[in-house]
Amino acid sequence: MVLRLSSLFLRTLREDPVDAEVASHKLLVRAGYIRRAAPGIYTWLPMGLRVLAKVEAIVREEMNSIGAQEVHFPALLPREPYEATNRWTEYGEGLFRLQDRKGADYLLAPTHEEMFTLLVKDLYNSYKDLPAYLYQIQNKYRDEARPRAGLLRGREFIMKDSYSFDIDDDGLEAAYQAHRAAYIKIFARLGLEVLPVFATAGAMGGSKSEEFLHPTPVGEDTFVRSAGGYAANVEAVTTVVPADIDFTDAPAFEVMDTPDTPTIDTLVAVANQMAARPEGPWEAIDTLKNVVLAAKLPTGERQLVVLGVPGDRAVDFKRVEANIASHLEVGGEVEIEAATEADLKKHPTLIKGYIGPGNGLDHAVLGSQGASGILFLVDPRVVSGTSWITGANEAGKHVFGLVAGRDFTWDGTIEAVEVRAGDPAPDGSGPLETARGIEMGHIFQLGRKYAEALDLKVLDQNGKLKVVTMGSYGIGVTRAVAALAESNHDENGLVWPRNVAPADVHLVVTGKQAELFEAAEKIATELEARGIEVMYDDRPKVSAGVKFSDAELIGVPTIVVIGRGLAEGVVEVKDRATGEAANVAVDEVVELLVTTVNG
Amino acid sequence: MVLRLSSLFLRTLREDPVDAEVASHKLLVRAGYIRRAAPGIYTWLPMGLRVLAKVEAIVREEMNSIGAQEVHFPALLPREPYEATNRWTEYGEGLFRLQDRKGADYLLAPTHEEMFTLLVKDLYNSYKDLPAYLYQIQNKYRDEARPRAGLLRGREFIMKDSYSFDIDDDGLEAAYQAHRAAYIKIFARLGLEVLPVFATAGAMGGSKSEEFLHPTPVGEDTFVRSAGGYAANVEAVTTVVPADIDFTDAPAFEVMDTPDTPTIDTLVAVANQMAARPEGPWEAIDTLKNVVLAAKLPTGERQLVVLGVPGDRAVDFKRVEANIASHLEVGGEVEIEAATEADLKKHPTLIKGYIGPGNGLDHAVLGSQGASGILFLVDPRVVSGTSWITGANEAGKHVFGLVAGRDFTWDGTIEAVEVRAGDPAPDGSGPLETARGIEMGHIFQLGRKYAEALDLKVLDQNGKLKVVTMGSYGIGVTRAVAALAESNHDENGLVWPRNVAPADVHLVVTGKQAELFEAAEKIATELEARGIEVMYDDRPKVSAGVKFSDAELIGVPTIVVIGRGLAEGVVEVKDRATGEAANVAVDEVVELLVTTVNG
C-alpha cells in the first residue's frame, strides 16, 4: 500500500515540542512518529508504528533463531507472585500498584520473572523438558521518578524480555551466551552500535550480568572503557585493590588540634602545614573522610551508613545504590542521599566535620560494634596497614596516622567513590576513559533466586527434585526506536537506516502538471509490485520547498524527485544520508531503486 | 519453522480446569493455548499466540482495505480527558483507576474515544483532512464484576477499536457502512457466523448502533429475531405501541376492597371473581403492577424509580439499565436493583402490594409531581385510554378501571419488561424468537458527543469552525479466539478453521523405527519449503494413543499419520473436522497437502 501524504495521518511540525531536550524526542514528534499522552507515556502514529514493527520483527526473528519461543503475559498482574519474591515491596515507588473492585492488590508489571517462573513450573517437571527459552514482546510499566527524553526513559514502554530455564550452571552459561550472541546480531541488523559492558544486577538479583550500551552523549548511563577492551558501567567497575601493608613499624597515631577544619579542603591545608614540620612523621599520608549517608530502604525505613573513603574522592551515590544492598540485608532498590542535620542529631557521638572510625580499637565510634552502632563501610583502597588522617570524633581535632586494621576496623568494603578517567582497568588492560551511553539491552544470570522463591523444581537425571537455574534478558524495543533516531539524524531531520525505515523510497512531485503526477503514480505502482515500500508526496497544493523539508524531516533513505527534469526524461534520486543526488532516466529508475533497496 | 512437539512449549491436560464452564475455556486451557494468570486475565502460550496473530492479521488487512490507518495508544492514561467527557465517573466500578508516585490520577483505558478525539484535534484542522479512519489493536481493561468463561469476558483483553471522523452526517453514515461491510468480511474470513443486530449505545452515547452477535447457547447476550429478518438485542427491542383509545365513554374508576392481594397472582384471582359478577363493568381489563426499583447512579447515589408495567410481564433489569439513562439526566452505566424494605420505609405513601399511580388526577402519589416525588415511568403499552386494575395506595384496596391519561399521568415511557418469544417484531416482519449470542463486534454512530466535550472542530467549506462527527467501532480480538474455539470443537478437542489454525498440518509418527522419523522429517521439510506450517509430533517415547488424542485436542485441520503403512509406501491423511481418512502414497502426500491447504 503506497503511503500517500495527501491522506496519511501525519502532520509535521516546524517547532520543537517545548518539553523535548534530546534530538530523538524532538524529531520523532516533529516528523509525526509519536505524540505525548502523559509524562513518559506516548502514542504511536502510523509512521512510528511502522518503524516499531520493523524493530520488533528483527528482534523476533533472532529470538526465534536461538530456539526461544514466544508467549505473551498480561501487564496487569496479581500481587501474590511478586510478594513471594519480595519485589512487591522492593520495587518501592517505581511500581504502579492498584486495586480491583474487590480490593485485591494488582500491579502493572515492570518485568515478568515471577510469571515466567510460575508458567514453567505449571508446564514442566523434568530435566528432559530443559533447556527452555521463552520470550515476549510486551508493554512494561515503571513509575519513573523522572521520565525523560521522550521514548528513552518512559513509564509505559515495550520490552522484549526473555528467560532461560536450565538444570545446571553450564546450561545457564550456554543460554546466556546464546542470548548474548543474538543480541549482538539484533543490534547489528538494527544498525545500532552497542558495546557490551559489565554491569551490576541491581534489583534483579543474580550474578553475571552485562549491559548493551549504545554510546551517545545523551545517554543516562556513564560507563568506562580501556584501550585494551575492558568496558563496564560505572556502578560495576571494581577498584584495583592495593596489597596489605605491614604495619609492624608504623608510628602510633596522634590526636592533634586542627581547629576550623570541618571540610577536607581545610583539613588538607592544615595537614600540609603539619607535613612541612620537621618533627612530624606525617609527610606522606592521605586523608580519610567519613561520609554519613541515609539509605532509604524499600520498606520505607531510613538507615544511616558511614562510608570511609579517600579524601580526594567524591562519593558516587549511584555506585553506592548499586552495591550497598548486600550490606543492608535488604533486597531491592535502595535510594541513597546525604544524611540531614536531623539524622545527625540522633547520633550525638557523630561530630560533623570531625567524624572518625574511632580513636583506637578500644573506643570505636563507628561500625556496628561502635558507640554509634552505625554500619561503617570503607573504600576498597582502605586495606590493612594503610595510614590515615581522619576525624577524632571531637570538635577541632583530627587523628594522624590512624592505621587500618590496627587502630580501626570496619563492617565491610564497598565500591562507592567516583571512577575517574585514568583509573586503572581492573583487568590490567590500561587506564580507563569515561563515556556515556543508553542501556539498550541487559542480560543476567539470575541463578536460582526466583526458582527458589517460587519453588520451581524439576526431576533430575537421578529422579531427584532440583531447583532450576534461570537467566533473564531484556531489550528496550521502544527505546531502540529512540536510540536509532538519536544516532541517525542531521540538522534537517531523521535519517533512518534502511532496515527500520518506515518506507524504502519517498517520491516527491514538484510542480503541478498532470504528467508529473502520472509519472509518479506509475513509479509508485511499479515499485510496490516489486515489494518496495513507497511513501508518495502527492499533495497537489504544497510547495516544493515544504515537500523537500518534510522528506528530509521524515527521513526515508531514498528520495526521488519527479519535477522539471521529467520533460527531458529524468528524475532525481537522492540519498538522504549522504545527500548525493543523480539524475536517472525515468524508465530506469524502478530497476535502480529495486537494486538500491535490496542492496 | 517446524513446530516440534519434543521441544514445543506445550503440555496438554487430560482434565478440565476446575474454574472452566464453557467448552472454549476448557479446551483452550487443556490444549495448551492459554493459562489463567488472575480472574479474567490470561497468558498466551505459543500456540495461542499463533492463532491470535492470525486473527489480528485478518482484522488488520480488512481495516487497511477501507483506508483505516493504524496507530497505537497507551493503555495507561491520565484522568483528565476522561473527566472532560464525564466517563471517569460514569464508568463506575468497571474502571481500573490508579495513582502515580506524585498522586496524579490514571486509568487503564476501557476504550479510547477521548484519546483519538484529542489526537485528531492535535493533527487536523480542516474539512479537507476528513474523512479520517483510525484504528488500533490494543489491550483494554475493564474491571468486570463477574469475569467469566475464560476469554469470553476478561478483564485484560485485546480489542480492535477504530474511530471515524467526518464533517457531516452523510460522512458518518458512509464511515459506518464501510466499517459494517469490513466487519462482515472479517467474520466471514475468520469462519465465524455473526448476525448484525440492533443495539443500544449504552455508556458510549450516540445514536445508531449495531452489534455483531455470534449465535451460541453459551452467549451472555439474549437477542431476538423474526423470520422476516429483524434482529435486535433484547435491550434494543422496541415494543409495538398500540394506538390511543378514546376514553369518552369509559366508566369511572372504582376503588374496591381486595384484602389479601399483595401480589399480582392473588389480585388476578380476585379480579376474575369480580369479572364474574353480573353487575360490574370490569370483565376485560388488565392489571398494572407498579414496581419500585433502585437505580445506583455512577455518582454513587441511589435513586428510586417506579415502573408501571402490565401485570403479566416481568421487569427485565438489563433492559431497564440500557434505557433508563435519558430519564435520569445522568450519563453512564446505571445499575438497577429491586428496592429494599429500607428504601420503601423512606416513602410512607408507598404501601407495598397496593401501590398505584394515584386514585385520580387530583391526588396522585407517583410521578415527579405526586406525593412520593418518585419518578414514574410506564411501559409503552400504557397509552392514553387504556384502563387498568391497579393499587389504590391503601392496604387491602385496589382501583378498577383507572384510565391512563384520564385518571393518571406518568413522567415518561420506558422499554423495561421482558421480551417474549411470539411478541411482534417492531418492523412488522413477524413474531420474534429468542436466541443467545456473544457480542463479537459493535459499531456506533457516536455523533458529536465526544467532539463537543473535547472541542474537536475543523474549518468547513465556508471557513467556519464546525464540530466533527464521529463513529466508534470495536471487535473483540481475544474474544474472537474464544468464540472460534466455542463454535469449532467436538468431544475430542478443538477443530480450527484453516484461516486461524496454529498450523496447517500435524504430522504424527506412530512407531519407533528410524525410517518413520526420517520419512516424517522429509515431509516436514518439503512442506515447509512450500510455505505450509507444520506441527510435527516427533516425541520418540510417546504412545500412538497419546499422540492421536493430543492431535485431536490441539485441532490442526489436517493430521498425517506416518506409521505401519509406510512399509507399503503410504501414510494416512485425516481431516480433523470430518474424521475422513485416506491412505496416500508417501511420494504424493506433499503435493496433496499443498493443494488441501491452499484450497
Q: Higher confidence at residue B350 or residue B155? A: B155
Q: Name the residue facing A46 among B70, B93, B115 (closest C-beta).
A: B70
Q: Give the gap in angstroms from C-alpha A515 to the nearest C-alpha of chain B.
A: 24
In the CATH scheme, what is the code of domain A17-237+433-486? Answer: 3.30.930.10
Look at residue B264 and tell me whether its pLDDT is greater than 70: yes
Q: Give the gap in angstroms from C-alpha B97 to the nearest C-alpha of chain A.
A: 7
Query: Beta strand pairing status for A534-537 and A505-509?
Result: parallel
Whether residue B72 and residue A44 make contact (CB cut-off 8 A), yes or no, is yes
SS in 3 state form for B374-406? CEEEECCCCCCCCEEEEEEEECCEEEEEEEECC
Among residues A43, A106, A120, A49, the alpha carbon closest in space to that of A74 is found at A106
Whether residue B69 and residue A46 make contact (CB cut-off 8 A), yes or no, is yes
Distance CA(A398)–CA(A391), nearest Å, equals 4
Burial call B155-192: b when 16+ CB within 10 Å, e when fewer: bbbbbbbbbbbbbeeebbeebbebbeebbeebbebbeb
Q: What is the mean pLDDT of chain B?
A: 90
* Mean pLDDT, residues B307-312 taken together: 89
Q: Spelled out in words, what is the top-level CATH class assigned to the domain B503-598? A: alpha beta
* Mean pLDDT, residues B61-87 taken together: 95
Rounded alpha-carbon distances, angstroms, from residue A50 to A503, B44, B512: 8, 24, 48
Q: Is A268 on the interface with B (CB under 8 A)?
A: no
pLDDT in tens, B405-434: 888 889 899 999 999 989 999 889 999 999
Residues in B touching A68 (Cβ below 8 Å): none
In the chain, the amino acid numbered A406 is R
pLDDT in tens, B217-240: 888 888 899 988 888 888 888 898
DSSP output for B347-367? -TT--TT---S-SSGGG--SS
In the chain, the amino acid numbered A84 is A
Residue showing cell 525523560: A148
pLDDT in tens, B456-483: 999 999 999 999 999 999 999 999 999 9
The angle that helices A46-65 and A169-190 make with each other, rounded to 10 degrees, is 140
CATH 3.40.190.10 fits B254-413, yes or no: no
Rounded alpha-carbon distances, angstroms, from residue B75 to A108, A587, B106: 11, 48, 10
Query: Contact A55/A500 with Cβ under 8 angstroms?
Result: yes
Q: Do domains B17-237+433-486 and B503-598 have the same CATH topology?
A: no
Q: Is B122 on the interface with A (CB under 8 A)?
A: yes
Look at residue B361 and tell me whether its pLDDT is greater than 60: no
The β-bridge partners of A390 are A399
Angle at the Cα of B493 (from B490 to B495), degrees rounded to 5?
70
Q: Name the residue facing A74 among B74, B115, B156 (closest C-beta).
A: B156
pLDDT in tens, B86-102: 889 888 889 999 999 99
Rounded alpha-carbon distances, angstroms, from residue B182 to B4, B5, B71, B161: 36, 37, 18, 13
For A218, the grid coordinates are: 545523551
pLDDT in tens, B178-203: 999 999 999 999 999 999 998 876 54
Query: Contact B503/B535 with Cβ under 8 angstroms?
Result: yes
Whether residue B119 and residue A42 make contact (CB cut-off 8 A), yes or no, is no
**Secondary-structure breakdown of chain A: helix, strand, coil percentages, each rounded to the nearest 5:** 30, 30, 40
Q: Is B20 on the interface with A (CB under 8 A)?
A: no
At A522 the three-state DSSP class reads helix
* Mean pLDDT, residues B545-550 taken together: 96
- Pick among B36, B41, B129 to test the A interface (most A CBs inside 10 A): B41
pLDDT in tens, B18-32: 888 899 999 999 999
Tell me which residues of chain A have a pLDDT lower than 70.
201-206, 273-284, 330-332, 359-364, 369
The domain segmentation of chain A, as residue ranges, is 17-237+433-486, 254-413, 503-598
Distance CA(A256)–CA(A102), nearest Å, equals 67
Q: Name the residue facing A76 among B1, B41, B45 (closest C-beta).
A: B41
Look at residue B273 and tell me whether its pLDDT is greater than 70: no
Look at residue B131 and tell me whether its pLDDT is greater than 80: yes
Query: Contact A293/A337 with Cβ under 8 angstroms?
Result: yes
Residues in B touching A44 (Cβ below 8 Å): 71-73
Query: Residue A197 CA to chain centroid, in angstroms?
Result: 11
Residue showing cell 521463552: A134
Residues in chain B: 599
Distance CA(B291)–CA(B272), nearest Å, equals 22
Query: Contact A530/A594 with Cβ under 8 angstroms?
Result: yes
pLDDT at position A364, please? 64
- Provide CB contacts within 8 A for B383, sequence distance 6+: B241, B242, B243, B244, B245, B404, B405
What pTM was computed for the model? Answer: 0.85
Whether residue A77 and residue B44 make contact (CB cut-off 8 A), yes or no, is no
What are the φ and ψ backbone dihedral angles of A343, each rounded to 5 degrees?
-60, -45
For B203, the grid coordinates are: 455508556
Whether residue A119 and residue B43 make contact (CB cut-off 8 A), yes or no, is yes
As a whole number of Å, the end-to-end CA separation of chain A is 22
Q: Is B314 on the interface with A (CB under 8 A)?
A: no
pLDDT at position A53, please? 97
The β-bridge partners of A574 are A559, A581
* Mean pLDDT, residues B378-389 taken together: 91
pLDDT at position B158, please? 97
Angle at the Cα of B211 (from B206 to B213), degrees rounded to 5?
165
The angle that helices A514-529 and A589-598 make with each other, rounded to 10 degrees, is 40
